[in-house]
Structure 1
Amino acid sequence: MDTKEHTADTHDHEEDQKRNNSVYTEKADLYDFKAGAIEAENAEHNMTVLGAVRAYPWASFWAFVMSCCIIMESYDVFLIGNFVALPAFVEKFGVINPATGLKVIAFKWQSSLQVSGQLGALVGVFLAGPLTSRIGYRYATITGLMLLNCFIFIFFFAQSMPVIFAAQIMEGIPWGIFIANAPAYCSEIVPIQLRAPATQMLQMFWAIGSIIVGGVTYATEGVSSSSAYRIPIALQWMFPTPLAILMFLAPESPWWLVRKGKFEQAAKSVKRLGSGTDPTETVAMMRRVIELEKNDKEPNHLELFKGTDLYRTLIVCGVYAAQNLTGNLIANQAVYFFTQAGLDGHTAFALGLITSALQWVFVMLSWILTTYYGRRAIYLWGSAVNTILLFALGIAGAVSKKGAHSGNLAQAALGLIISVGFTLGPAPASWVIIGETSAIRLRPLTTGTGRAVYYIVEFPCIFLASYMLNPTGGDLGGKCGFVWGATGLCCLITAYFFLPEMKGRSYREIDILFKRKVPARQWKKTVIDVNDDE
């Protein structure tokens, strides 16, 4: 045999052997990778809630920090709602109501101010998805916090309604980043058992923002100078810089790092979050889920409306939209609602503060309910009770004579119960559903799009709510309960047929259930084998 031929045969044999070894190694790696993933998933399933807290104390802390960002949107939303009833603000920016001879904020500006921040946030949520997918949750959030520091200056020094309107739009852009990123980040850094309380903290901090506003405006309600509204505006500077420092120190979401192929950094991030499982096995679990969703393309908004991702997107969008259609706007305009129900300004501000404090307590109670009884159950039962109360408010408004003290008290009491009850059932459960439903790969885009739908639905609802309550508009008072009761009933029926139960499900199981197109009401009964990969 020719020496050259012998050499060529030997070379081919070596190449075949290398190729076979490579395939063998790849298969062995895949086996080990799946074995570790199963171990990590089983470990999370077997944890109790208290065990998860003990194993992941830092994950709970960093979810707490991220949730604090929601205070700023909540603070400003309730601040604008309270300003329309604040005497010094009304005196500076109001117009004479011909019917009473007293100054009020004109209907067009009342509505415009309520929607201005949301207009900016609508821009922010669409920026948040691509920005976060590229630079991560931490740096996207820090960018928003620094921008907010700058935009508060414009609001503080504003001397006219158009400037206030513009300032609110600009402040809204970073809000959109926070509100899109927070539920996604919180749901990604904690184990299964802590997903409900971690994401529901967002609703708690929404209540905290309203408590701070309620306390500040209650204290300044009697001040006749511009300090009555400038002090509450200036207090917004308390939040961005400290939060930016903390977010710089926070670990990046390990799920985001695994999506980027940064497995070592993801393992370090897992180690910083807690010691419940082996970091390598946890990263293997994340890789397994991401392999199920594998796509070589960069995530884009079009994918949200294809295949099973369309159903997931519709759930997130529907739950977000329902917040505006089931009484949330009564909660956001509680002080103004109380004044229009016939209570004096001082009592209205006191009741607004009490409402915010009770909301905070009820959100914490909802942690227990949602963790142990499930998301779907609490959402449906809470929405049903809320709808009944809204119709009761409408009836109280219809039968009460204009100016009757007992009728005013009945409407105010029902308004308070609706505002508080909303934070026990549908509102906090919504955040858990939003954080769990989307595919890991598309999560920043899905939460951003869902929040965008929230704002799009909110715009007409704000104008409608302001028109119904404003004395220069519909002046309906409690009769607005009929309108919100009807929309709430539609949301309840839709949720009953299409909202699945995701309590206790890993992200792998959620992916598989969506791919199998299991009907929403059958999710709780469906068993997914730990070895299944689809």
Structure 2
Amino acid sequence: MLPRLLLAWAKLASTGQLGGFPTPPTRRASPKARKVDMDKSNTLADRNLLNDAVDGENREHQMGVWEAAKRYPWACFWAFIMCFTIVMESFDMFLNTNFVALKHFSKTYGVQTGPDSWAIPTRWQSALFQAGQCGAFVGVYLAGPITNRIGYRWTTLLGLVLMNATIFVSFFANSLTLLVVGQALEGVPWGFFIANSPAYASEIVPLPLRAACTATLQMSWSIGSIIVAGATYAYNGLDNQWSWRVPLALQWIFPTPLMILIFLAPESPWWLIRRGRKEEALRSIKLLGAKTEEQAQQSLAMIERTVKIEEEQMGGSPTLLDLVKGTDRRRTIITCLVYASQNFAGNLIANQATYFFEQAGIASDKAFQLNLITTSLQLVANIASWFLTSWFRRRTVFLWATATNVLFLFILGIVATVPQNSKTNYAQACLGVIISFVYAGAQGPISYTIISETSSVRLRALSTAVGRSAYYVTEIPMIYLASRMLNTTGWDLAGKCGYVWGGTATVTWVLAYFFLPELKNRSYREADILFRRKVDARKFKSTVIGVEEDK
């Protein structure tokens, strides 16, 4: 289904029916565009290499999305496979949030709160939700150095082996303590997957397809949540331990098939060039879809040019300290802020949807049904995001999506404040569905695109890892706050949490307005130049970069 949908999206976008942006044959400044006069760099003494690099970059700019999808189907496929590893983090995270809503799980490990009701104490809810993120925090910091040394493929394979092993701890756990330990161990390979997926996907596909292919990360989240919603709904009626152990066992369906596919995938040619393995990089470019030797050589030259410029202007082997030096500091801050913003725009309502629906006054069975509907709608929204990212620019999508959810979050708070009845309960549930739909169709997918495009090629593995760690640093206290707001043994705010998330989303919008640059239709060389020139974020779109400029 994915290839058909991707090709349909690409065809519509390239013909202009979706307002896509097919690039003209040459990059000319519009009358209002701001031109910055800079001397051409002598970085590349090899004129033939420079000519090939210019031709390769122009060819990517000239391709429409439909043409790119037809030329590079294998690049799209391998990008999707790498992004699909995120389904395991999504699966386990949503599984834990559904456990607290399973009646037998609460009865076994919780405390009695009424004649026929039990609840997992807030501290254990927070521990279950946070353990995996704590493990992933460790994993993302391990992923950067490991990836720089052995590559995206072997790092991901290592993570899949670890994933297979750590599932055993959670499956055989007989206490909340051991279950928390199991989640923390599973989190380490999650860190590998989330650090590598957006970077790898953005490096192997041509420029017109970067947004759609990196946006499939959000689709993987939705696929994982759909499987969890279906499994927990199916086993919710069981009054024994298998109501949660069977869903835990379902995690084993992912790692082994993915190990086989990732083993067969080509390594990123950008990583290979950074390691000086030119012949292997050329072979990867051909495997990813280059039709002729000339096209392959031009793509190789384009990569070599960008990597060489970065090495000469920024240094040799990358380290974590490089992320806070020079213009890379600004890029790191943007990456961290965009990742962290995912926790501040109401997304945590979607992550705890079943429990939120129950706290909003919806019966348990209907809450699980609503969760299944919500996750299915999120998948639809993810597919719609392919069209959205072709129609509008990154900054535009991010700002409007955040503003939309700010509005709905405050409406949610108001609905929860008025006297409650069955109508207000369903209104809160519907608003929760709408908020998760908007996030899954716009802010969530576009965040991964922005993250993958913002960092320099040289520091990409480290930058995506540190950016994701910012996500976990903010998510861990936010999960505790979300649990405290919803739990009947905590503040029991239900939909009134909309006021809190509406406030944090407003702060996110303000920061994005002033600091988020526009990188749609920009090559990695152009992005490097824009950051080195310290162009204002709101002027990235209008600044013109010549194809032979290196600084």
Give the TM-score taking structure 2 as reference length. Answer: 0.90
Residues 448-459 of structure 1: pairs in structure 2 closer than 5 A: 448-459=465-476
Alpha-carbon distance in 2 for matches of 1:332, 1:293: 39
Letter of the 2:219 partner, please give it. Answer: M
Cα deviation, 1:195-243, whole Å, max 9, x if unaligned, reads 0000000000100000000011111110111111111000000000110
**Cα RMSD over matched residues?**
1.3
Q: Could you say which residue in structure 2 is the equivalent of 1:471?
A: 488
Alignment equivalent of 2:124, drawn from 91, 109, 114: 109
Residues 143, 358 of structure 1: alpha-carbon distance in 2 compared, 3 angstrom cutoff: same
Letter of the 2:155 partner, please give it. Answer: A
Q: Could you say which residue in structure 2 is the equivalent of 1:380?
A: 399
Q: Could you say which residue in structure 1 is the equivalent of 2:331?
A: 312
Bigger-Rg structure (1/2): 1
Q: CA deviation at 1:100?
A: 5.7
In structure 2, the residue corresponding to 1:96 is in which secondary structure?
A: strand
Identity %: 53
Alpha-carbon distance in 1 for matches of 2:201, 2:108: 41
Letter of the 2:380 partner, please give it. Answer: V
Cα deviation, 1:253-308, whole Å, max 9, x if unaligned, reads 00000101111110000000002671111111011111221155321111101111
Letter of the 1:345 partner, please give it. Answer: S
Residues 74-473 of structure 1: pairs in structure 2 closer than 5 A: 74-97=90-113, 102-275=117-290, 278-294=295-311, 295-401=314-420, 404-473=421-490
Contact persistence 2:103–2:118 (CA under 8 A): no
Q: Could you say which residue in structure 2 is the equivalent of 1:5?
A: none
Give 1 or 2: higher helix fraction. Answer: 1
Q: Could you say which residue in structure 1 is the equivalent of 2:63?
A: 47
Contact persistence 2:44–2:305 (CA under 8 A): no
Q: Could you say which residue in structure 2 is the equivalent of 1:21?
A: none
Alpha-carbon distance in 2 for matches of 1:77, 1:397: 27
Q: CA deviation at 1:27?
A: 10
Q: CA deviation at 1:400?
A: 3.3
Q: CA deviation at 1:64?
A: 1.1
In structure 1, the residue corresponding to 2:349 is in which secondary structure?
A: helix
Alpha-carbon distance in 1 for matches of 2:43, 2:546: 21
Contact persistence 2:147–2:155 (CA under 8 A): yes
Q: Could you say which residue in structure 1 is the equivalent of 2:539?
A: 522
Alpha-carbon distance in 1 for matches of 2:118, 2:476: 25
Q: CA deviation at 1:28?
A: 9.2
Q: Could you say which residue in structure 2 is the equivalent of 1:18?
A: none
In structure 1, the residue corresponding to 2:440 is in which secondary structure?
A: coil
Cα deviation, 1:102-136, whole Å, max 9, x if unaligned, reads 21111110011000000000000000000000000
Alpha-carbon distance in 2 for matches of 1:389, 1:30: 56
Cα deviation, 1:343-371, whole Å, max 9, x if unaligned, reads 01110000000000000011111111112
Contact persistence 2:381–2:437 (CA under 8 A): yes
Q: Could you say which residue in structure 1 is the equivalent of 2:35?
A: none
Alpha-carbon distance in 1 for matches of 2:406, 2:43: 55
In structure 1, the residue corresponding to 2:239 is in which secondary structure?
A: coil
Alpha-carbon distance in 2 for matches of 1:92, 1:390: 34
Alpha-carbon distance in 2 for matches of 1:101, 1:307: 61
Contact persistence 2:111–2:121 (CA under 8 A): yes
In structure 1, the residue corresponding to 2:541 is in which secondary structure?
A: helix
Alpha-carbon distance in 1 for matches of 2:43, 2:446: 41
Contact persistence 1:186–1:195 (CA under 8 A): yes
Contact persistence 1:118–1:455 (CA under 8 A): yes
Contact persistence 1:337–1:469 (CA under 8 A): yes
- Count matched residues: 506
Q: Could you say which residue in structure 2 is the equivalent of 1:13?
A: none
Letter of the 1:95 partner, please give it. Answer: V
1:38 maps to 2:54: yes
Give the TM-score taking structure 1 as reference length. Answer: 0.93
Alpha-carbon distance in 1 for matches of 2:324, 2:418: 46
Q: CA deviation at 1:372?
A: 2.6
Alpha-carbon distance in 2 for matches of 1:459, 1:234: 25
Contact persistence 1:400–1:408 (CA under 8 A): no
Gapped regions of structure 1 (runs ≥ 5) = 1-25
Alpha-carbon distance in 2 for matches of 1:260, 1:158: 43
Contact persistence 1:221–1:228 (CA under 8 A): yes
In structure 2, the residue corresponding to 1:524 is in which secondary structure?
A: coil
Q: CA deviation at 1:40?
A: 0.4
